[in-house]
Structure 1
Amino acid sequence: MLPEQLQRIIGYFIEEATEHIQIIEQGLQDLQNTVPATQRIHQLIRASHSIKGGAAMLGFSSIQRIAHRLEDYLKLLRECPIAIDSRLLSLLTQVFDILAALVYKVSKGFGLNSEDANQMLSLAEPVFDELDAYLRALIPTRLTVRASTDEHIHVFCGYCTSLGEFSSAIASRVGLLGGTITRHEQEDLGIRLCVDIYLPPYSRIENIRQAVELSGAIIGTVQTQRDFSLLATADYPVYQSAIERPPICTGCRYYYGRSDGGYQLNCTIHPRGPEEQERCRDREQE
């Protein structure tokens, strides 16, 4: 590439990057109101992404790295319910200031020497470390607890605010219920935690939920299903084929014909169809 062409491309990068820097700066100045506003936080993320892409094309790896990290932090703010406090804002502003300083150096010399780039990166790395550690403490960890017994599978979904405390507490409380943790998996930065628990037969859902919540979790949703693979016994028969519709049910608007709890549900009154000669209250209500 000819020097004139390269300088022209760098000039385009400087022009666009300067506009993006201004957008990010304005967003950070009012970050508490920027994060809840979907379009505004998207705008900051796109600005960081554009700087990252332009820097990568021109070989400005220091700018690319810092813009990439800033983009990731902004995505976390968009996706996780984090309270914006003065420390978090200060750390993000430090990252932004280093990025802006690098873009300014490029604008002054139409390039960036390795000494300046390495110096700025050395300033950025401890800020990244502190910011990562602080975000681990702030980000509510999305939580899924799958509690299985011989009869049911209960799935609790919610979040916990202290991953370390929850991890130690849930093991203790599951043990008190006579259960064991069979899987304990988490993602980077503690954003998501999945726990699989096996419990003794007939463990009550109220007791399981209490154990999860007392461990430090906030439960949002609970789903329960029968474990049909374990229920094919005399006490819990599993019907694989549909029960033939009783003649008395023909034309009844309350007849469902769907599976519910291991039975082929026929209506609201008689899950397995009315006995012969039995009067049907559903039919009487038509």
Structure 2
Amino acid sequence: MLPEQLQRIIGYFLEEATEHIQIIEQGLQGLENTVPASHRMHQLIRASHSIKGGAAMLGFSSIQRIAHRLEDYLKLLRECPIAIDSRLQSLLTQVFDILAALVSKVSKGFGLNNEDASQMISLAEPIFDELDAYLRVLIPTRLSVRANTDEHIHVFSGYCTSLEEFSSAIASRVGLLGGTITRHEQEGEGIRLCIDIYLPPYSRIENIRQAVELSGAAIGTVQTHRDFSLLASGDYPVYQSAIERPAICAGCRYYYGRSDGGYRLNCTIHPRGPEKEEDCRDREPE
């Protein structure tokens, strides 16, 4: 028999955890609509964090661990432009189901034995592994392309979804412009790709940008510089333009309209917005 005071504390935990479980469940059911809504994502992350904290206080390490991993995944969805598909939603739901089952076991016995906890953790580990591997596929590579001519430095920042395809395509398109790639460097295990290009004098920024975008990049910002002394110091910004989201668009399930460093990412298919709503298959309501 548990001491009366501990029973009360577990009761408080279960009361709050049940509410948090309901919030998370509702958010995961319509995940593709939840992710773009910052206040709803905040609710889900806060709910997972609260379950984690309460479980840690009571020594329910298995619940703490599952809730912590779920919180991390939700934070990743909030911070990275990831397209939500059925497989990703299913994997996250499986993690949630294990968390809910653990909380349910606590409610039935006002405690959690080691055997049940170990069994649930063993079920969760392969799901974590699959989720981690799949997220590495879905998370786009952050991209920086610096195009140097004799007159300007143009810096294009954005994302590409396929590192290999982009690298191959940009080399071909730079060659068509009469230029060469002088640096091709991958940083942070695929998190960032940095490419430097040297182009003939008077190369037009429109042609350079088209080459970058047609290679498979989503460009968020374009910076133009005329002072080459800044190149060595890394202090680039002289002229900077953020791409505004056309009012005609209602949103995109991929990168368009999302933020990178405070700037909106633009659509490479419809940079000025689709002429007709039905022309864009990736359009989604606000």
For residue 213 of structure 1, what is the aligned residue in structure 2?
213
Q: How far did residue 143 of structure 1 move?
A: 2.4
Matched-pair contact (CA < 8 Å) for 2:153–2:224: yes
**1:206 offset after TM fit, Å?**
4.7
Structure 2 distance, partners of 1:124, 1:167, is 36
Secondary structure of the residue that 1:36 maps to in structure 2?
Answer: coil
Structure 1: tracts of 5 or more residues without a match: 232-258, 261-286
Please give the secondary structure, in 2, of the residue aligned with 1:93: helix
Residue 8 (structure 2) aligns with? 8
* Counterparts of residues 158-197 of structure 1 (less than 5 Å): 158-170=158-170, 177-181=179-183, 183-186=185-188, 192-197=191-196
Runs of 4+ in 1 over 6 A off after TM superposition: none
Q: Secondary structure at the match of 2:129?
A: helix
Q: Which amino acid aligns with 2:60?
A: F
Deviation by residue 1:57-115 (Cα, 9 ceiling, x = unmatched): 22222212211121122223223343332222211110100010111112222222222
CA contact 2:151–2:202 (8 Å) conserved in 1: no
User: More deviation in 89-98 or 34-43?
Assistant: 34-43
Task: Tell me the distance in 1 between the aligned counterparts of 2:146 and 2:229.
Answer: 16
Structure with higher Rg: it is 1
> 2:29 aligned with 1:29, yes or no?
yes
Q: What is the identity, as a one-letter code, of the residue corresponding to 1:138?
A: L
Corresponding residue SS for 1:159: strand
TM-score in terms of structure 2 length:
0.69
Aligned counterparts, 1:4-83, within 5 A:
4-83=4-83
Letter in 1 for 2:225: Q
Aligned length: 229
* 1:151/1:201 contact within 8 Å kept: no
Give the percent of matched residue pairs that are identical in Structure 1 and Structure 2.
Answer: 82
State how far apart, in whole Å, the 1-side matches of 2:225 and 2:117 are.
Answer: 57
Greater shift, 194-203 or 220-229, is seen at 194-203
| Alpha-carbon distance, 1:168 to partner | 5.0
TM value normalised by structure 1? 0.69
The equivalent of 1:238 in structure 2 is none
Contact 1:81–1:139, Cα closer than 8 Å, also in 2 = yes
Give the aligned partner of residue 236 of structure 1.
none
Contact 1:53 1:64 in 2 (8 A): yes
CA RMSD of aligned residues (A): 3.0
Deviates more, 1:150-159 or 1:37-46: 150-159
Aligned residue number for residue 282 of structure 1? none
Query: Are 2:250 and 1:222 aligned?
Result: no
Q: Is the 8 A contact 1:154 1:225 kept in 2?
A: yes
Which residue does 2:125 correspond to in 1?
125
Determine if contact 1:174/1:180 at 8 Å carries over to the other structure: no
Cα distance in 2, alignment partners of residues 64 and 164 from structure 1: 38
Within 2, Cα distance between the matches of 1:180 and 1:194?
14
